[in-house]
Amino acid sequence: MKNGFDNEKYLRIQSEHIKERIAKFGNKLYLEFGGKLFDDYHASRVLPGFQPDSKLKMLMQLADMAEIVIAISAVDIEKNKVRGDLGITYDKDVLRLRDEFQNLGLMVGSVVITHFKGQESAKAFKNKLKRMGIKCYYHYMIEGYPQNVALIDSDDGYGKNDYVETSRPLVVVTAPGPGSGKMAVCLSQLYQEQKRGIKAGYAKFETFPIWNLPLKHPVNLAYEAATADLNDVNMIDPFHLEAYGETTVNYNRDIEIFPVLNAIFEGIYGENPYKSPTDMGVNMAGYCIFDDEACREASNQEIIRRYFTALDDLVEDKATESEVNKIALLMKQAKITPEDRKVVIPANERGAKADAPAAAIELADGTIITSETSSLLGTCAALLLNATKHLAGIDHKVKLIPKDMIEPIQNMKVNYLAGNNPRLHTDEVLVALAMLSPSNENCKKALDQLPKLKGCQVHTTVMLSEVDRKIFKKLGVNLTCEPVLKKSRRK
C-alpha cells in the first residue's frame, strides 16, 4: 500500500508542539495520554507510513524532561479487569508498562490508584507496589463527579486526594485501558499544584479523531468503526466553532464533558485557558499526511475489515447488532461496500465453485492468489503454500510437502490426539516446511518468502480457528472472514 503519512515529520513537530505547550504553562504540564503507546497498529493501518511505535519514539525525544504516572482504577483492580489484547489483568499490566518504560530509559515516577473507596484489593496492590519500591498514591471517589463542581474544586474533593510528587516539566499520565481516571488525575494535580503556588497546565494527547480533517473523512470514520462498541461519535466541536469560527472535529465524550471541565478550570485558575475541547489537544498527525488519497483508501479498507470482524463477533456472541449496524452505516457514509475489499470476491467465487471453504490473498504487487480446502490441507495452509510458491517463483504444480509426510501427521491428529479434522493447518504446514528446508531448496525458498506477507490482505469464506488467526497475526497479515462457522472445528 502506498504511504501517505510522513512519520519523521510527525516525530519532529509533535515533540516540538508539546514543548511549546509546556512553556505556555510555566514549565509544568500534565499530559493525558490516550490510546496505545505501544503497537498502535490501527494508526499504522489508516495512516500508511505511521509506525506502530511512533508515539513512544516521540515520547523518548522528550525523555530528559518527562516522567510517567500510571493510573489504575480501584474498581478495575477489584473486578480483576483483563486487557482483551494481552489477556492479563490491569494490575499486572501496570507492572508490565512500568518495566517497558524503564527498559527504554523513561522515568516512571509513580502509580495512582483512582476511584478509591477502601477496596481491600486496592490496598493489597498498593502494599505490593510499596514492597517493590514503587511510589503509590490514592485518589478518592468524589460524590456526584463530574457534575458536582463545587465539591470537586474543594478540599473535600480534589483536595482530599494524595498529592502526587513529580519532579519534571512534563508529566505523562497513562493507564492500562479506558476508564482508569487519567483526566481526573491531571485535574486533581492542577488543583493541588495551585494550592502550593505552582503554576501547571493540562493537555490531552489523542490520535483520533484527527481534529483538522473533515468530519466524514475516512480516517475519522475508521476511528468510529474501531470504537463501535463504545458508542463514540465524531462531532463538529461547537465550542471551537463559536470561539474561532473554525470547523474542527472532536468526539462526543470530550464535547459533552467540556462545560464541566470549563467550570472546574475556572474553579482552579479563576478562568479557563482553553476555549474548546480542540484547544486542549496537542495532536499534530493531521499535518503529516502528504497523500490524502492513500490515507482515504487505507481507512476505507480498515472500515470494511472492522465490519467483517463485527459480523464474526456477532456470530460468536462477542458483539451486538448495534455495533454491526453502526459500521454498516459508516460504510454507507464512506460510499464503500464489503466487495471493495479486493480479496472478497475471488475468495467467495472460488468457494462457490469448489463447494468448499476457500481463501484469497492480495500480495504487495496486487496479485491475487486463491486456495481451497483439500483432503490434505486446510484452505489457509494451502493459501500459504500457494502464495510462498508464487513469490519464490516455484511452479504451482510442485508439491512442497510430500503426501507421505502429511499422512502420518494426519494419523497422529485423528487417532492419537482425538481430533476430528485431519487436514494440516497453517502452523503445521510451516513446521513441515521448516523441517524440510535444510534438504529441500524449494522449501527453503518458500520459507524465505514469509516476511513478504506482512501487510498483505486475506479473506476466507469461513471463520478460522484461533490457531490460524494467530499465525496470520504473527505474519502481519490483515485477515477478514465471512461470518460462517466451519462445520467442524480443530481440536
Arithmetic mean of pLDDT, 64-92 = 92
> How far apart, in whole angstroms, are the C-alpha atoms of residue 490 and residue 380?
13
> How far apart, in whole angstroms, are the C-alpha atoms of residue 129 and residue 156?
26
Q: Pull the grid cell for residue 461.
A: 469464506
State the pLDDT at residue 86. 75
Q: Which residue reads 496505545 in cell numbers? A: 36
What pTM does this model have? 0.90
Q: Report the chain's mean pLDDT, rounded to a whole number.
A: 94
Arithmetic mean of pLDDT, 333-342 = 98
State the pLDDT at residue 490. 38
State the pLDDT at residue 487. 63
Q: Calculate what percentage of the chain has a pLDDT beyond 90.
A: 83
Report which residue type is found at 47.
L
Higher pLDDT, 257 or 347: 347
* In the chain, where the domains are located: 7-205, 342-481
Beta strands per DSSP E along 4-149: 29-33, 66-73, 82-83, 88-89, 107-116, 136-140
State the pLDDT at residue 489. 39
State the pLDDT at residue 229. 86
208-252 pLDDT, tens digit per residue, is: 999 999 999 999 999 999 989 888 899 999 999 999 999 999 989
| CATH class held by domain 7-205 | alpha beta
State the pLDDT at residue 491. 36
294: pLDDT confidence band, cut at 50, 70 and 90?
Answer: very high
460-476 pLDDT, tens digit per residue, is: 999 999 999 999 999 99
Instruction: Kindly give the interhelix angle for 403-411 and 426-436, rounded to the nearest 10 degrees.
Output: 130
Task: Name beta bridge partners: 30.
Answer: 171, 202
Q: Pull the grid cell for residue 106.
A: 523513561
179: pLDDT confidence band, cut at 50, 70 and 90?
Answer: confident
pLDDT at 35 over 80: no
264-273, long-range: CB within 8 Å, 24+ apart, which pairs? Answer: 264/146, 264/149, 264/152, 264/153, 264/187, 267/149, 267/152, 267/153, 268/153, 268/187, 268/190, 268/191, 268/194, 269/190, 269/194, 273/25, 273/201
> How far apart, in whole angstroms, are the C-alpha atoms of residue 59 and residue 148?
34
> How far apart, in whole angstroms, are the C-alpha atoms of residue 209 and residue 211?
6
Closest CA to 472 of 430, 438, 432: 430
How far, in Å, are 5, 408, 424, 464, 467 from residue 413 at the CA level?
47, 9, 9, 18, 15
Arithmetic mean of pLDDT, 15-33 = 95
Residues sharing a CB contact under 8 Å with residue 218, sequence separation 6 or more, in sequence order: 46, 295, 296, 297, 299, 300, 303, 334
State the pLDDT at residue 488. 42
- How, if at all, do strands 136-140 and 234-236 pair? unpaired
How far, in Å, are 97, 139, 185, 316, 472 from residue 74 at the CA level?
17, 9, 13, 31, 36
Arithmetic mean of pLDDT, 342-365 = 97
In CATH terms, 342-481 corresponds, of 3.40.50.720, 3.40.140.40, 3.30.70.890, 3.20.190.10, to: 3.40.140.40
Instruction: Kindly give the interhelix angle for 426-436 and 466-475, rounded to the nearest 10 degrees.
Output: 60
**Max CA-CA distance within the chain?**
81
Question: CB atoms < 10 A from the CB of 208, how many?
Answer: 26
131-177 pLDDT, tens digit per residue, is: 999 999 999 999 998 889 999 999 999 999 999 999 999 999 999 98
CA 101 to chain centre: 18
* Contact (CB, 8 A) for 401 and 429: yes
Beta strands per DSSP E along 327-418: 358-362, 368-372
State the pLDDT at residue 313. 95
Q: Pull the grid cell for residue 440.
A: 529441500
State the pLDDT at residue 44. 93
User: Can you count the helices (H) and strands (E) in the chain?
Assistant: 20, 14
pLDDT at 350 over 70: yes
Q: Any idea how long the chain is? A: 491
Q: Calculate what percentage of the chain has a pLDDT beyond 70.
A: 99
370-420 pLDDT, tens digit per residue, is: 999 999 999 999 999 999 999 999 999 999 999 889 989 889 988 998 888
State the pLDDT at residue 36. 76
One fold for 7-205 and 342-481: no
pLDDT at 269 over 90: no
Query: Side-chain half-sphere of 250: how many Cα atoms within 13 Å?
Result: 23
